[in-house]
Structure 1
Amino acid sequence: MQAPRLLPTAVAALSLFSSVVALAQDASSLERVTVVGSRKTLPAASSTETLVPVDIYSMSKVTEGGGQFDLAQSLQYLSPSFNSTRQTGADGADLIDSAALRGLGSDQTLVLVNGKRRHTVALVNLFGARNRGTTGTDMNSLPLLAIDNVQVLRDGAAAQYGSDAIAGVINVQLKKKAGCEAVAGYGQYSAGDGKNYLASAYCGVKLAGGTLGVTGEWQDRGRSNRADPGNPRTIGDTKVENKTLYLNGEFPLAGADKVYVTAGAQDRDASSAAWARNGDDDIPSRNSAAMYPNGFVPYINGKIQDRYLIVGWKSVVAGWDTDLSQTYGSNKLRYNISNTLNASIANKDLLAGGKGISPNQFDAGGFGFSQATTNFDVSHFFPDLLGGSNIAFGAEYRKEKYDIVAGEPGSYIDADGVGFGGNAGSQGFPGFQPSDATNKSRNSQALYVDWEANLTPALTLDAALRAEHYSDFGSTTTAKLAGSYKASKEWLLRGAASTGFRAPSLQQLYFSSTFTDFISGKPLDVVLAPNGSKIANAAGVPSLKQEKSKNVTLGFTFKPSADTALTVDLYQIKIRDRIVLSGRFDEDNYPKLGAILQGLGVGQAQFFVNSINTKTEGLDLTASTRARLGAGQLNTFLALNVSRTQVTAINAPAALKGFEDVLLSERERLFIEQGGPRAKATLGFEYSQGAWTSEAKVIYFGSQTQGTFSGPPVPNLHYKPKASMDLGLSWQATPALKLSVGGNNVFNVKPTRQNPDETDNGFYYDSVQFGLNGASYFARAHYRF
């Protein structure tokens, strides 16, 4: 670490500590509850009193009687700022659902668990209509029944929490309360497939003066298929089996000392269908007449292991609350490709007088990512300092590691010669080659200080400053200023301005692969060259650097009574040097690379580049009310997000000047600008009377425009606004037993039909808005004991 870079912040933090320590020794002890976005250790404010927009979703109703069986899809239909659409025909992106806030990338949202940073996945999304070229956090590795609430901070918070918090922060708060409960659920699509089974149990047991919550979950989601009769492809949900175990507890020691622990593990077996290979024109290049004379569908099978551990110690030193913690997380994905072949092996066998046979299953290798984070946080609330001040500061050390493991030789070799006969590697997903294998690591250090003060009974201000240093690309300092003004008992005005950053992920820096893409239904081999590789250097691609952002939020809240609340917030997010996956370069549009690509036996190459600036503007609105209606109670909720992202500049490296249209084609630009719908709204009604509760929810998805493979004059793909409806009915049969039934998207609405030769997934219904599967139905039983 280069100490001088962080020295000014360290001196400021130590001076602050010494100047107010005497006040701390006399302050009284208070119950400590924290909402994401604030370091204040006081009873948590409601979402209409927070300095910045924060949505708090209790997960009890979702887990007891909801129609979604995983966290990502549950939030998709709760939070209008949150977007997660299951992909199909998108290789690894089919196996892990990506998620994002405010129309930005999944790696621009920071996810916390119990306030501690959670690791991202090892996967880089390369295909699909969402989050191309990004990594993200696997929300579905957390069991629903283990979650108490989810807090969604809709504001930039890099100065408070560090890298990735450009779009906002999602904090998942796990349960640690006494008592036991269990859930059993079943669901399926109206088409009769995609059968979904869920069995989950939570038990909070008293232990060593505290409580340890233990959650076990098993989920089995069947494959769905919306392909037309006669179409050999499988187009729909991935087959997934999850086995998950989580522990979460806190235990008192002597005095004010406490230890806490969170430990989780999930094993996932997932299977996604790749594009179909034909039985005629794909022989011998991608098929063998002896093996699949009528064509075949390869299956990309992934074995995913996700591990997570938090161990911490809370104490009080001279009246200051201290929190020392160690967090570790890892994510591994290993590929096995089945119902496939290596066409070059089959062709070599045929030329040697054999039948033309290849193995039909390959270990294609995989990758892993791990992250270890040490935090030391110090805070105290001074009731008599500037009307009440919360002062916090701390330090963080983080070490990250990324590796790629090569597959078995048959998964990648070209046995009959480059550019001749059969293509190299396993069809559906070529294995990682020894040249792709890597093992890289880096570390970072950070210091932060945060001061929140109630300057007057009506005016509250919060200022945060954070300095970070990364071993691989340097240092950065970010700041944030937020404030609120209580204009009256009902009205609160609030706003924030901040700078932010996102470090290039190790996955973006070092991912390397050769794969097959389908352009208008035609296969093409593509190499994704890592930063610093021979191909990237030949193309003049510079080293990746951090993204930088400027965030502004301005809004108000209105709460005329305990039963009615309204929040409205406008925001603008400007990102400079945003990292994106480039367009495809080949010997025609960039002759300099032609000879290198020919030697590799591939047609195109692409890279990660800090190549664009973007501006995102939007509006968030929430409104809720509850009232007596007849003998029962009616709760109504409206949530709306409207956003627009624009690419404002293309920053081509010197060697790529004049090739801006290749660096960022219109198709790739539209993936960035409209990867998610530009508007999303949820209008919900819940009516309760006695033991019965009914729910109706309308979810509106705004329009999207996506590019085509052909480009002009072929018009872009326009997806019209659509709305779906969810219905549910719950019966509290006994004080312990609740039974629920319902349907999602009950009117079987699907995205606008398109030309399948131009869609990203090669089907006339693409994986946009709410997906392509249609209506589904569910039943669920919840038992508390």
Structure 2
Amino acid sequence: MFSLTPLRKSVLLSLYGGAALAAFSPAALAQTAPAAKADDITSVTVVGSRRVSNASATETAVPVDFIPMTKVAEQGGQFDMAQALTYISPSFNSTRQTGADGADLVDSAALRGLGSDQTLVLVNGKRRHSTSLVNIFGARNRGNTGTDMNTFPLLAVKNIQVLRDGAAAQYGSDAIAGVINVELKKTLGCEAVLGAGQYSEGDGKNYLASAYCGVKLGGGVVGITGEYLDRGRSNRADAGDLRTIGDSKVQNQTFMLNGELPAGPGKLYFTLGAQTRDASSAAFARGPGDIPERNALAMYPNGFVPYINADLTDHYGIVGFRTRMGEWSGDFSQTYGFNKMHYNISNTLNASIADLDLQNGGPGRSASQFDAGGFDASQMTSNADFSRFFPNVMAGLNVAFGAEYRRETYKIFAGEKGSWIDADGFGGGDPGSQGFPGFRPADETDSSRHNVAAYIDLETDVNDRFKVLTAARFEKYSDFGNSLTGKLAASYKLSDAFMLRGSSSTGFRAPSLQQAKFSSTFTEFVSGVPVDSVFAPNGGAVATAIGIPALKDEESTSFTFGATWAPSAATSVTADLYRIDIDDRIVFSGRFDQSNLPGINTLLLPLGVGAAQFFVNSVDTRTEGLDLTLAHRANLGSGKLNTFLAMNLSKTDVTAIHAPSALAGKEGVLLSERERLYLEQGGPRRKATLGFEYLLGKIGTDFKIIHFGPQTLGTWSGSPAPLQRYKAKTSADLSFTYNLSAKTKLTVGGANIFNVKPTTQDANETDNGFKYESVQFGLNGASYFARLWHKF
């Protein structure tokens, strides 16, 4: 049960402004959470608790960031969810990639310095599907899948709840770093937002048009949101450089529907989300010196930049029924998610086709655009959940239990022949479309799996100061086996102002189908003989020949200990220490060939393969950190000043590398220093936001200072090249909002207004071949925006 205690009032107001409290005033709470009745099946809940009774009003036993999105949607300088959360929640990280193939087109997100697939995302408390993309390249989340947060229009979201605690025993796989719950609107009324922005260098133009309308229907409310977002390409390449370095070009069209209707003895609820995205990123440039291997004189005599374009489709749906069965509450739901990514490579060529054309007396050309194939993934989840509150057991006991069935699919489909064929053989042009060779028929897969789960969750108020939460969950997967996890959490109020809390839990993450079945192939020549270099799927002929074992689940142990202190209604402090140990973490290996694994040719050459990379359970890590928030509100002159500080300190270390017996002694290839540092420092090890909001009459001023700690990354060539060391950087955002009327607001402002950029590096040693990576807050510099909000 969520309650608005003095502590939480202070945090909400200081972090998110007066609009946060408007949503949780006593009147609003009376509308959304009336006094419990025998037939009441409506409740206000927070992720991490399954309590549905209104009988208790205590703080959460584990740390939860509760982020109202009203102010962000109406006045924020970031137009997409991932960037908005990056500048609100210090434990949340999402950096736009450049020069990282498909990872440029989907902004991966993560909590507490861990991978994007170690954070579970829920929508209205129901599991959200992941993307079909596996991040193979880029400085963040390499080898991970994750959830695309930018499929949510900001205007459709009521609040975001970030559970900063291991929760696999409550919600299942992926909830190692924590859980993000996206609660969608279903309130009456209509509103719209128009926004525009660009970088100070004149590129990266952004345009936003979004509208929400909540209407009465059949005794309930249905909220409908439509959004169009156009993000232009930016380029920070040096003068004379052919490359395009910066934001990818993105056009999103998004529709979202969320509602609840009376239905017989209960309530029918439903959610529908659909997005199409046209996205384009720039690959490495090919110059005149690359003729004939990667270029053709007749096509690009001055060089060219291939563009990796993709059509992305994302669908999500929930339908469910809540009812009362005597003293028990029942919730039956069906969830479906689908994500597809289809590549089209433009401004390119297949150099082998162009070279063959030249040998045959032609001008030396190939097509300049290719369908390169792609992949899709789906998830179907069925849930049955039951709960009951026993007010007479101690000071109150909430019992919840349930079962889940989930089926997942993953497909790879091949591109057209010209996108991957080697037409001219040894010594001529390279095969496949430059920038991104297409998937081959041999890469195609149509895989599926299912799992069943059962859980029990007990939340006990021992007395009015002491709360204990226990949970256990069993899951059985069709492809790797069973998992049993548990959790114990407790909070104790030493006084009305001071509370201690802590938790201990075990967790797991099932290997994704994308990791297990991903396959991609490109051709090389060894002594004049064409052989394939492959990203080999687990259980396939190549991985089996080498002796790579079947993937299994990652296992984790998590501990948190913290305190909350509210000396007054205007001041609050929260601090939480945490430690997360993960065993058998799944990583994407280095490239194995005859040069670093003698004898591998005898295994692979009969398969037409000369080199291979694969996913393998090989790494143990330990993550330790501190989350801290301080908030204060006060009158200043004739206005009100809200101040907050939020900080995350996080350190991840690889504690062990376990090579399969077939790769014994090759730990340095399995996980090179470069790859290890991507795991340990793919995100900054500290991040802090200091914010000031001053409200005076019709004018509101927001000033935020955002600090990103240092990062150390590996180099392309490895030792003895010095490591890439990125110094700590601090940026600042400033905006002004004028209330034109009670229903209309105009906001203008800037992000990173002092044009801070990462530390310059040797471009020959970075992953993207530029003078700095997409680390910390990105590489684009200052930006400016305007936003107009109107309520109808």
TM-score range, shorter chain: over 0.9
Contact 1:586 1:597 in 2 (8 A): no
CA distance in structure 1 between the aligned counterparts of 2:580 and 2:344, rounded to whole angstroms: 40
Q: Report the equivalent of 1:438.
A: 445
Q: Match for residue 93 of structure 2?
A: 83
Gaps spanning 5+ residues in structure 1: where? 1-24, 518-523
Please show how residues 558-637 of structure 1 align to structure 2 within 5 Å: 558-594=565-601, 604-637=611-644
1-structure distance, mates of 2:439, 2:278: 20
Q: Which residue of 2 aligns with 1:265?
A: 274
1:493 alignment partner AA: L
Specify whether residues 593 and 278 from structure 1 end up closer, same or farther in structure 2 by C-alpha distance, changes over 3 A only: farther
Residue 292 (structure 2) pairs with residue 284 (structure 1) = yes
The separation in 1 between residues aligned to 2:185 and 2:625, in whole angstroms, is: 33
Residue 383 of structure 2 aligns with which residue? 375
Aligned position for 1:14: none
Structure 2 match to 1:400:
408
Work out whether 1:61 is the aligned partner of 2:66.
no
Task: Give the equivalent residue in structure 1 for 2:751.
Answer: 744
1:349 aligned counterpart, secondary structure: helix
- Partners in 2 of 1:603 and 1:274 — Cα distance? 25
Task: Quote the Cα distance in structure 2 between the aligned partners of 1:458 and 1:385.
Answer: 15
Q: Which amino acid aligns with 2:61?
A: L
* C-alpha contact (below 8 Å) 2:41/2:323 kept by paired residues: no
Instruction: State the match for 1:473 in structure 2.
Output: 480
**Displacement of 1:590:** 1.2
Q: Is 1:158 aligned to residue 165 of structure 2?
A: no
1:485 to 467, 492, 495: 492
1:181 alignment partner, one of 191, 197, 205: 191
SS at match of 2:599: helix
The 8 Å contact of residues 55 and 391 in structure 2, kept in 1 or not, is answered as no
Residue 309 of structure 2 corresponds to 301
Letter in 2 for 1:145: L
Within 5 Å, give how 1:709-720 maps onto structure 2: 709-720=716-727
What's the counterpart of residue 454 of structure 2? 447
**27-36 or 153-162: bigger deviation:** 27-36
What amino acid sits opposite 1:497 in the alignment?
Answer: S
Equivalent residue, structure 1, for 2:158: 148
Output the amino acid matched with 2:491: S
Q: State the SS of the aligned residue for 1:634.
A: strand
SS in 2 for 1:124: coil
Which amino acid is the alignment partner of residue 492 of structure 1? M
Q: How much has 1:26 moved relative to structure 2?
A: 10
Q: 1:602 Cα deviation (Å)? A: 7.4
Query: Is contact 1:446–1:468 with CA below 8 Å preserved after alignment?
Result: yes
In the alignment, the residues of structure 1 paired with residue 54 and residue 571 of structure 2 have an alpha-carbon distance, to the nearest angstrom, of 21
TM-score normalised by the chain length of structure 2: 0.93
Matches of 1:64 and 1:601, distance apart in 2? 57
Tell whether 2:105 aligns with 1:73: no
Q: 1:233 corresponds to which residue?
A: 243
CA distance in 2, matches of 1:467, 1:600: 40
> Size of the alignment, in residue pairs?
751
**C-alpha distance in 2, partners of 1:328/1:743?**
39
Gaps of 5+ in 2: 1-35, 525-530
- Which amino acid in the other structure matches residue 541 of structure 2? K
> What amino acid maps onto 2:205 in structure 1?
K
1:41 to 52, 55, 61: 52
Give the corresponding residue for 1:778: 785
Structure 1 residues 28 and 336: alpha-carbon distance in aligned structure 2, compared to 1, 3 A threshold: closer
Superimposed CA distance per residue, residues 495-527 of structure 1 (whole angstroms, 9 cap, x where no aligned partner): 00000000000000000013599xxxxxx9952
Q: Take 1:772 and 1:640, find their aligned partners in 2: how far apart are those partners?
A: 22
Deviation, 1:712, is: 1.5
Q: Identify the match of residue 341 of structure 2 among 333, 337, 343.
A: 333
Preserved CA contact (<8 Å) 1:732 1:738: yes
Question: What are the superposed Cα offsets for residues 90-132 of structure 1, whole Å, 9 maximum, x if unpaired?
Answer: 0000000000000000000000000000000000001111000
Offset at residue 536 of structure 1 (A): 1.4
1:36 aligned partner, one-letter code? V
CA distance in 2, matches of 1:242, 1:495: 41
Identity of aligned residues (%): 65
Q: CA deviation at 1:531?
A: 0.6
1:498 to 2:509 alignment? no
Distance 2:228 2:611 in 1: 42
**Distance in 2 between the 1:349 and 1:596 partners?**
35
**Contact 2:546 / 2:603 at 8 angstroms: preserved in 1?**
no
Q: Does the C-alpha gap of structure 1 residues 470 and 160 become closer, same or farther in structure 2, counting only changes over 3 Å?
A: same
Instruction: Mark the CA change 1:312 to 1:592 in structure 2 (over 3 Å): closer, same or farther.
Output: same
Cα offsets for 1:439-479 (capped at 9, x unmatched)? 00000000000000011221110100100000111111100
* SS of match in other structure, 1:292: coil
CA contact under 8 A between 1:26 and 1:319: conserved in structure 2? no
Return the offset for 1:229.
Answer: 1.1
More deviation, 346-355/333-342: 346-355
Q: Trace 1:115-134 onto structure 2 (pairs within 5 A).
A: 115-134=125-144
SS in 1 for 2:443: coil
* Deviation for aligned residue 1:710: 1.7
**Residue deviations 1:126-180, cap 9 Å, x none?**
1111000000000001111000000000000000000000000000000000000
Q: CA deviation at 1:210?
A: 0.5
- For residues 752-767 of structure 1, the aligned pairs below 5 Å read 752-767=759-774
Q: How many angstroms does 1:379 deviate by? A: 0.7
Pair 1:516–1:80, CA change in 2 (3 A): farther
After TM superposition, the structure 1 stretch with the greater mean CA deviation from structure 2, 583-592 or 323-332, is 583-592
Say whether the 8 Å CA contact 1:34–1:43 is kept in structure 2.
no
CA contact 1:412–1:424 (8 Å) conserved in 2? yes
Correspondence for 2:715: 708
Alpha-carbon distance, 1:194 to partner:
0.2
Q: Which residue of 1 aligns with 2:321?
A: 313
Q: Tell me, in whole angstroms, the C-alpha distance in 2 between the residues paired with 1:271 and 1:717.
A: 28
- Kindly provide the amino acid, as one letter, of the partner of residue 612 in structure 2: A
Displacement after TM superposition at 1:533 (Å):
2.1
AA matched with 1:538: A
Cα pair 2:119 2:179 within 8 Å, conserved? yes
| Alpha-carbon offset, residue 42 of structure 1 | 3.7
1:94 is aligned to: 104
Equivalent positions of 1:635-646 (< 5 A) are 635-646=642-653
**Equivalents in 2 of 1:252, 1:30: separation in Å?**
11
> What's 2:259 paired with?
249
Q: 1:594 offset after TM fit, Å? A: 3.5
Distance in structure 2 (CA, Å) of the matches to 1:44 and 1:626: 30
State the 1:623 CA deviation.
1.2
Q: Given that residues 372 and 399 in structure 1 are in contact (C-alpha distance below 8 angstroms), is that contact kept between their aligned partners in structure 2? A: yes
One-letter code aligned to 1:337: I
Structure 1 residues 199 and 494: alpha-carbon distance in aligned structure 2, compared to 1, 3 A threshold: same
TM-score (ref. length: structure 1): 0.94
Deviation of 1:407 (Å): 0.3
SS at match of 1:669: helix
Match of 1:659 among 654, 666, 679: 666
> Corresponding residue for 1:421?
428
Q: CA deviation at 1:535?
A: 2.1
Q: CA deviation at 1:765?
A: 2.0
User: Is 1:136 aligned with 2:146?
Assistant: yes
Q: Deviations over 1:610-659 (max 9, x none)?
A: 01100000000011111111111000111100011011110110110011
Any idea what the Cα deviations from partners look like across 1:561-613, whole Å, max 9, x if unmatched?
Answer: 22211110000000000000011112200133336766888774211000110
| CA deviation after TM superposition for structure 1 residue 711, in Å | 1.4
Q: Which has the larger displacement, 65-74 or 530-539?
A: 530-539
